[in-house]
Structure 1
Amino acid sequence: MSAYSNVLVVLDPAAEYQKALNRALQLARLQPCRLTVFLTVYDFSYEMTTMLSGTERESMRQAVISDREQWIKQLLTEANATDLDTHILVVWHNRPFEAIVHTAIEQNIDFIIKGTHDHDVLKSMIFTPTDWHILRKCPCPVLLIKEYEWPTRRNIIAAIHAGSEQEHHSALDQRIIAKALQMAKLLDAKVHLVNAFPGTPVNIAIEIPEFNAQEYSLSMKQHHIDAVAKLANQYDIPAAQCHVIEGMPEDIIPNIVNEYDALMVVIGTIGRTGFSAAIIGNTAEHVIDQLDCDVLAVKPADFVSPLQKS
């Protein structure tokens, strides 16, 4: 059975080179899957043309959609993708992320591939880009890709939160590792488990003189080492591919990616929304812009999208 059988490929209407499509075709040639090549289009001026009737405006929208469908057909022809199971879907929508998430839900998509780029940090926190909306609201795994080709025989980083006693963290770690191993099998890659853990709180050391910060730090590290080792044994991942490091994930993970020349990071995202997301953001979001590799974001199994129709 294929790791991913129903894939949604999100095109960039402004890009000349469609890296998401290129990556999706590479995936389809590695394993059988259905590719839905997806594009949202919208022109506000078409909605404001009062001189035209509703029927005429609809006709103009359909003309734009048909033109983009022909453009996608040409892309697929140029990519020699006629032998693959591809389907084209162009949607008129002024909020691309909503169209993407609704399509994923309605068509039972199990994997989304989308190109990404660097975001200005301040704007990412105040004006949430489409990428962040999809990460927070889409129930299926989302692969955000960078520029380069997908090499084989490299490393995949599974960013886990072992050591937590909370059940949802443990379950999400299992999903992260499973997805990482699926991709590793396709790409003949090795999976490395990376677990960052927080250092000793400075205020405790100051407020409680008898507090032994060094002993606390060693105890905390051993706790996480044991938790990671337990997960590694469960999935037959060698100890040499397990990394437990004190620090923040947004600092530790990019360093490991660079050290091991990783082609992908698999990370969990809980889908925080609203004010807390705008101010704090998810760990995944803090990490993504720091990386020069693909990022596969995985949701908890029981995640329900806020866009899910009741």
Structure 2
Amino acid sequence: MTSNIGDAMKNLSKIVCVVDPTTKTQHAVSRASWLARLTGAELNLFICYYNEYLSGDRFFDSRSLAKARQEVVDGHLEYLESLAAPLRESGLNVTTTSTWDHPLHDGVVRHATECNASMVVKDTHYHSGAARILLSNTDWQLIRTVAAPLWLVKPREISDRPVFVAAIDPMNEHDKPAALDDEILITSKMLAAAAGGDLRAFHAYDPRIAIATASANAYLPVSLPMDEIEQQMREQHGKRFNSIVAYHGIREDHAHLISGRTFEELPALAIEQKADVVVMGAVARNRWKRLFVGATAERTLDHLPCDMLIIKPDWFKTPADILHHDEEAA
């Protein structure tokens, strides 16, 4: 598996960091520069901006509006250069890009595709009135449409010995290709090794689903052997889970097979293990549709206390209608 980890490291050659020009503290820049330093990847600092009142869409376009748009783009580029300067001095290979495009998530996807990004890194923020950090519409759209792995950063520092939790689905119960579990584990191992961190594998199974199915298929009221059903389910899931974690060389005491619902158990494990990053796969209904993020995934992601790295199936391509959008130049 060493060669696979080496290949994963080589494939991480360009990190696009989405910079929010409206905030002073840039947690995504901090995390992306940390990643670039670990992997030797090029770091691209990127601002995508749009203002409908300057766009010419609401009113007739004019030279003055075009000039104003260009001034905004240039101003953002200057800001990016101010962020890039100390990073370059520290030895990182840093480029900067400022664009005028909308909506934000499509602009990010187009840029990531055009520059062949190996990973996209973006901040998440607290929403007003919420005690926890909720993913924005832009975050969800990027999860569904960007082909590169997506690292969503929570506003917290990463530990010196970071803990990575690889959440896998060895039963492939959510239309997720089996190869995606391997990719999740290989990527997690590569990052944990590069950071001198710790790797944990996680899978949850819900016996209530099997019990409910058995009850629904019973034509007459029966007393179901619930303990036996749960034990059979644990054995089935355990066999597949133990096989894949053993193949990837993960220690038994670092493999967590848990009875319960993923959206409850994964955040609980992340808190218990003081996880810095949870690595998950995006599920897909089929190859011709956009990635589908189910209710379980939505409830899980919004409750995680740490960073998230979302990985797509290797066959996934960004929907053509996004890539072929006629971008409005400044």
Q: Which residue number in structure 1 is paired with residue 207 of structure 2?
A: 199
User: CA 1:87/1:171 → structure 2, altered by over 3 Å: closer, same or farther?
Assistant: same
Partner of 2:155, secondary structure, is coil
Contact 1:65–1:90 at 8 Å: present in 2 too?
A: yes
Instruction: Note the 1:70-219 alignment, pairs <5 A.
Output: 70-78=78-86, 81=89, 83-118=91-126, 129-164=137-172, 168-201=176-209, 202-204=211-213, 206=215, 208=218, 209-219=222-232
Structure 1: unaligned runs, 5 residues or longer: none
Q: Which residue number in structure 2 is paired with residue 245 of structure 1?
A: 258
Q: Post-superposition shift, 1:2?
A: 3.4
Is 1:57 the counterpart of 2:65 in the alignment?
A: yes
User: CA 1:57/1:275 → structure 2, altered by over 3 Å: closer, same or farther?
Assistant: same
What code does the residue aligned with 2:248 have? Y
Contact 2:144–2:291 at 8 Å: present in 1 too?
A: no
Structure 2: unaligned runs, 5 residues or longer: 1-8, 326-330
Is 1:304 the counterpart of 2:317 in the alignment?
A: yes
User: CA 1:230/1:308 → structure 2, altered by over 3 Å: closer, same or farther?
Assistant: farther
The number of residues matched between the two structures is: 304
User: CA 1:17/1:144 → structure 2, altered by over 3 Å: closer, same or farther?
Assistant: same
Q: Post-superposition shift, 1:185?
A: 1.1
Q: Post-superposition shift, 1:6?
A: 0.8
Instruction: Note the 1:11-22 alignment, pairs <5 A.
Output: 11-22=19-30
Partner of 1:9, secondary structure, is strand
Q: Post-superposition shift, 1:282?
A: 5.2
Q: Post-superposition shift, 1:17?
A: 0.6
Q: Post-superposition shift, 1:79?
A: 5.0
State the superposition RMSD in angstroms.
3.0
Q: Post-superposition shift, 1:191?
A: 1.4
Contact 1:113–1:142 at 8 Å: present in 2 too?
A: yes
Q: 2:49 aligns with which of 41, 46, 51?
A: 41
- For 1:53 and 1:289, how far apart are their aligned partners in 2? 40
- For 1:52 and 1:203, how far apart are their aligned partners in 2? 60
User: CA 1:51/1:120 → structure 2, altered by over 3 Å: closer, same or farther?
Assistant: closer
Q: Post-superposition shift, 1:108?
A: 0.9
Contact 2:151–2:307 at 8 Å: present in 1 too?
A: yes
Task: Encode CA deviations 1:112-169: one digit per residue, 9 max, x unaligned.
Answer: 11011245899xxxx9610000000011100001112222324210000113378843
Contact 1:135–1:271 at 8 Å: present in 2 too?
A: no
User: CA 1:51/1:194 → structure 2, altered by over 3 Å: closer, same or farther?
Assistant: closer
Q: Post-superposition shift, 1:37?
A: 0.6
User: CA 1:142/1:282 → structure 2, altered by over 3 Å: closer, same or farther?
Assistant: farther
- What TM-score, normalized by structure 1, do the two folds share? 0.88
